[in-house]
Amino acid sequence: MKFYTAMPKTLKPFYQTELNKATTLLQQGKLQECWRHYERAHILGQRYPLQHSYVHWLMLKFGIKIKSTKEVLGQITRLVFGGVKSFVGTVPIGNTGGANVPPLKQMEIPEDLAAIINNTKTN
């Protein structure tokens, strides 16, 4: 079993770009577009406990902002279990992380993100 602890340095800029875009869009009130970038950051970070948990924290705050009980409850559950699943390498690859999808459902990774992940070398 492989333990995932740190995001590869070559992947971090792509992850951070998605978070930066989400922050900008959130500040502009473009909530749907913001959410899309949280989902993309989730896909990039889901194998790494800190990054995975951080995206779920941002999604939780987003759920509070939009007053979505479903999202808030879904994110609390994902915060409790997501980081552990990342650490032991049992995350459902491609899952976008929102309460609108089953937490254990594997999903197709968008082509551009798949290329980034496939071209990223480990630390």
What is the tens place of the pLDDT at every residue in 11-24? 999 999 999 999 99
Confidence (pTM): 0.92
What are the extents of the domains in the chain?
Answer: 12-116
Helix (H) or strand (E) holding 72, with range, is helix 69-87
What is the tens place of the pLDDT at every residue in 19-57? 999 999 999 999 999 999 999 999 999 989 899 999 999
Q: What is the DSSP letter of 2?
A: P
**Residue 70: pLDDT band with limits 50, 70, 90:** very high
The pLDDT, as a whole number, for residue 1 is: 55
